Chain A
Amino acid sequence: MRKNKALLLLLLVSLLLSACGQAQERSSPYRIYLISKSTSTEFWRSVFAGANAARAEYNVELTICGPETEEDYLGQNRYIEEAVRNHADAIVFSAISYTENAPAIDAAAEAGIKIVVIDSDVNSSRVSARIGTDNIQAGRITAAAALDTDEAHLSVGIVNFALVSRNGEEREIGLREELEKDPRVEQIHTVNSLTDHVAARTSAISLLAEYPEINVLIGLNEPLGVGVAEASETLDLGSRVRVISFDSNIRCIDLLRSGAVSALIVQNPYAMGYLGVETAWKVLEGQSFRPDQLIDTATSIITRENMFTVEGQRILFSFG
């Protein structure tokens, strides 16, 4: 009888203490790392803007880092290790290399860090959620933009990533799949370039020199898109070659206005950044997502005709 009372009292006190403890626990924000493929493109700046908006809304501690070039997967791995060392709670990650980043991500997951993949996938089973463009679909949309012409004979040149990056691969798969369905398409040539607009421009120019019959030129991400647009501008191809670029780089927008670029395939990087951080927070709060089901951020075709509509402005130009 007496013992019971003492036990009850103990229980009560511990309950009170735990209530206090719980109240304290929430005061320290989650530590989230966003590791990007690059820090210099407008695409990534927009991702960061979205991530920062989520950071403010969910009160998390956000560290944004990424390598200088989009080939430096080793640099990404170093950032992953840094996140592990600094006891990050979650990493929002975009993989340069589908395979080479996987061990580092697995190790981070092993250390108890939640992994949310945005934009470009990594070959890991430890990913909690995947967010980004459905790249196969983006490829198909690109094909649709490329095929939106009256030309009877089409010869397509594709400038894609030099390194095996999942989103580049998938875009090309979707793109080729649709292109090959169209009887007008007679040739498809792919050249792989470093993801840098100067390199892409050089690659595009030599591709055009090699296959002068090319009348559709496609760059599969922002720097590559700028590269092919610049190639078109440099060679003053005008309307002879239909140029399709990726993402809303300001150069591309100007070239779209001037007609050097026919269409832009615009992803929603702001949403990727925002949803990446938001989803990481939700995962840390105990929600679960299906990593095999991509949380798709919209992809749109922007042309001269729709670029200054209310919708077009909202897609192309980031707000403040």
Chain B
Amino acid sequence: MKNRGIHMSTLLTISNLAIVLLVLSGAVFLFARTYQQQLTGTARTNSLRTVTQVSSTVDDYLAEINAVMRTLEEEMSDPEKQRSDFFDVFLRTRPDVVAVSTYDPAGNLSHCYSRFGPPTGTRSDGINLSLDLQRLLSEPDGYVSAPHVVTFFQDVYPWVITVVSPLAEESGEHWIALDISCSDISYYISDSGIGRRGYCYLMDTDGNIVYHPQQQLIYSDLKTEDSTRIATLEDGSYVEGMVIYAVKTLSNGQWRLVGVSFLQEFLAESLRQLGTILLILAALVLLAALLISAVMSTVLSRPLRDLEHAMEQFEDDADRFNYEPPKIAVREIHHLSVSFRDLVLKVQQLMKTVREEEIDLRKTELRALQAQINPHFLYNTLDSISWMCEQGKNAEAVEMVNALARLFRISISRGHELIPIRSELQHAESYLEIQAHRYKNQFTWSIHAEEACLDYLCHKITLQPIIENAIYHGINGLVDDGEILVSVREDGADILFTVTDNGSGMTEEQISAIMQKDHSDRAGIGIKNVNDRLTIYFGPAYGIQIDSEPDRGTSVLIRMPKVREETDYEKK
């Protein structure tokens, strides 16, 4: 039974689970997609906002530098003494300024004011990176340089950005250069992270990096930035793969700020959360499915299995089957169970009715048969009596009449079906007596009964058909004296009757013919009737068994249970 397919509850659980998971994953997929799109949008907006904020701070700073430049330009008209006093204060208040230098039209250094004191380095090799005359040819209104080191000094080479402006003076001091420390610009840009790993960098319009939070990495070739390509893009935000670029041109028009952020880190966190939620949901679904399956099992599949089992039992033994419908089950199954119980009861009732009807039928049949034997036998017996009277054998005739009377009295038995064995033996004795007379004492007979057996009941006319058979088939036509032996004894809970003769015996064919023939060739109860009656009343374990050997005799064994009262038997 176990191997026949899968259990219903398992099937239900799996299908539940499959549907829920399908719907769930579909929903999650859609959700994740929408979510990702939205997140990307948000990340772009964030990125652009940060870049705009940073660019406005840088703009402010540059505006401030411009303002400083204007102040410095004005200051340059002051005499030398005043200037140095001014620069003393100026350099102290503006730590971002590394040096201020002025040049004649040919680019020779006129003055240099610096926090590192007077210039010491330039004289040795004449290299000065703070002024690019070449560039001033094309940009006579000044420029903002790319990062470079300051070469005025020995021992110190700070990285700066130089702002160069023309001065009003035609001769003498013609240019002014303001070196601003890169580390101060970094202050505005380095900490402007977008997300955990995102950052901003500053480049010029050609994509040369002006300032990058990881400048040294770039200088050491450990990191590259795709700035030349980014430089071709308009201001705005761009998603390329998992990277978001936000570009904003500063108000000076020369520099552009680029924000780089990584979509991954926004998504990763969100998707991880989503994954956790999904996992928890899946667990809950699974749990629910298991619960459902457990419930299903109690209310659906187990009752069904029980019902199936009950039906099998019913098939095996309908008589003694007892069925109680389950208490916990879905309504359909409950109905099914109740219907099954009703069915069982009905079938059992029907079976009982059929059996009773059969018994009734047999009873009627037997009664009819009993009624049938009488005239035939009576005629023969009366013929014998009349013959005895003619012969003047009055005493014998009286005996015969008495026997006949006893026979009939017991046959009638006031309508009882069962009579004490004692009476049955009397009946047999009367019959034997009559037949012995009729057969002119061709045979002798004897009856041995255990005293204990005599009060048990048996069907009336049990022995008579057997004895009749013994006389007709065994003794009749026998040359020697026949002998018929009737005995009754206990055998455990059963009573055993034996009728033995030493007559001509029977062949196997004859035995089976007797056992199967409905009626003996003559009217009356046959051996088959007796056997049938025992089997019907007491079950297949009881009935008649014939042992016979040709020329040696026949022994008929009748087995029946001990019956005390007629009601005993009715019950059975």
* Most B Cβ at <10 Å: residue of A9, A271, A317: A317
Contacting pair A50 B279 (CB below 8 A): no
Contacting pair A298 B283 (CB below 8 A): no
Contacting pair A308 B129 (CB below 8 A): yes
Q: A250-B157, A271-B222, A320-B182 are in contact. Are A9 and B216 (CB under 8 A)?
A: no
Residues in chain A near residue B226, CB distance under 8 A: none
Q: Which of A12-20, A90-98, A285-293 contacts B (4 or more CB under 8 A)?
A: A12-20
Contacting pair B151 A274 (CB below 8 A): no
Q: Which of B83-91, B103-111, B119-127, B553-561 contacts A (4 or more CB under 8 A)?
A: B119-127
Given the complex of chains A and B, what is the CA–CA distance between A86 and B477 in angstroms? 126
Contacting pair B7 A1 (CB below 8 A): yes
Shortest beta-carbon distance from B136 to chain A in Å: 18
Q: A19-B279, A250-B156, A304-B125 are in contact. Are A271 and B151 (CB under 8 A)?
A: no
A125 near B: Cβ within 8 Å? no
Residues in chain B near residue A298, CB distance under 8 A: 221
Shortest beta-carbon distance from B261 to chain A in Å: 15
In chain B, positions 162-201 with a C-beta closer than 8 Å to chain A are: 182-183, 186, 197
Q: A9-B290, A16-B279 are in contact. Are A53 and B214 (CB under 8 A)?
A: yes
Shortest beta-carbon distance from A310 to chain B in Å: 8
Question: Which residue of A19, A274, A313, A320 is within 8 Å of B222 (Cβ)?
Answer: A274
Q: A9-B290, A250-B156, A319-B215 are in contact. Are A308 and B151 (CB under 8 A)?
A: yes
Contacting pair B157 A319 (CB below 8 A): no
Contacting pair B155 A317 (CB below 8 A): no
Per-residue interface assignment for chain A, residues 281 to 320, with 1 indicating a CB less than 8 Å from any chain B CB and 0 otherwise = 0000000000000000010000010001010011111111
Residues in chain A near residue B124, CB distance under 8 A: 257-259
B286 near A: Cβ within 8 Å? yes
Contacting pair A271 B276 (CB below 8 A): no
Shortest beta-carbon distance from B317 to chain A in Å: 30
Residues in chain B near residue A253, CB distance under 8 A: 157
In the complex, number of A-B residue pairs with CB atoms less than 8 Å apart: 90
Chain B interface residue number, banded: 35 or more
Given the complex of chains A and B, what is the CA–CA distance between A103 and B173 in angstroms? 67
Given the complex of chains A and B, what is the CA–CA distance between A170 and B108 in angstroms? 47
Overall SS of chain A's interface: helix
Per-residue interface assignment for chain B, residues 325 to 361, with 1 indicating a CB less than 8 Å from any chain A CB and 0 otherwise = 0000000000000000000000000000000000000
Contacting pair A308 B127 (CB below 8 A): yes
Residue of A nearest to B186 (CB): A320
Residues in chain A near residue B221, CB distance under 8 A: 268, 271, 298
Given the complex of chains A and B, what is the CA–CA distance between A298 and B216 in angstroms? 14
Shortest beta-carbon distance from B9 to chain A in Å: 9
Contacting pair A313 B215 (CB below 8 A): no
Residues in chain B near residue A254, CB distance under 8 A: 121, 154-155
Shortest beta-carbon distance from B190 to chain A in Å: 9
B438 near A: Cβ within 8 Å? no
Given the complex of chains A and B, what is the CA–CA distance between A49 and B149 in angstroms? 18
A270 near B: Cβ within 8 Å? yes
A117 near B: Cβ within 8 Å? no
In chain A, positions 261-278 with a C-beta closer than 8 Å to chain B are: 268, 270-271, 274-275
Given the complex of chains A and B, what is the CA–CA distance between A271 and B129 in angstroms? 26
In chain B, positions 262-283 with a C-beta closer than 8 Å to chain A are: 272, 275-276, 279-280, 283
In chain B, positions 130-169 with a C-beta closer than 8 Å to chain A are: 146-149, 151, 154-157, 159
Shortest beta-carbon distance from A77 to chain B in Å: 30
Residues in chain A near residue B295, CB distance under 8 A: none
Residues in chain B near residue A16, CB distance under 8 A: 279-280, 283
In chain A, positions 11-69 with a C-beta closer than 8 Å to chain B are: 12-13, 15-16, 19, 23, 49-50, 53, 57
A3 near B: Cβ within 8 Å? no
Shortest beta-carbon distance from B204 to chain A in Å: 13
A237 near B: Cβ within 8 Å? no
Residue of B nearest to A312 (CB): B149
A8 near B: Cβ within 8 Å? yes
Shortest beta-carbon distance from B156 to chain A in Å: 7
Question: Which residue of B159, B186, B214, B279 is within 8 Å of A317 (Cβ)?
Answer: B159
Per-residue interface assignment for chain B, residues 212 to 223, with 1 indicating a CB less than 8 Å from any chain A CB and 0 otherwise = 001111011110
Contacting pair B149 A23 (CB below 8 A): no
B405 near A: Cβ within 8 Å? no
Shortest beta-carbon distance from B154 to chain A in Å: 5
A5 near B: Cβ within 8 Å? yes
Contacts beyond the supplied A257-B121, A308-B149, A310-B148: 15 A-B pairs with Cβ under 8 Å = A9-B287, A9-B290, A13-B283, A16-B279, A57-B197, A57-B214, A254-B121, A254-B155, A257-B154, A270-B216, A271-B221, A274-B220, A274-B222, A275-B222, A313-B148
Listed by A's residue number, 21 A-B pairs whose Cβ atoms lie within 8 Å are A8-B290, A9-B286, A9-B287, A12-B286, A19-B275, A19-B276, A50-B220, A53-B214, A250-B155, A254-B155, A257-B127, A270-B216, A270-B222, A274-B220, A274-B222, A298-B221, A315-B219, A317-B149, A317-B157, A317-B159, A320-B182
| Pairs of residues from A and B, 6 with the lowest C-beta to C-beta distance, nearest first | A314-B219, A320-B183, A271-B220, A319-B216, A319-B215, A254-B154
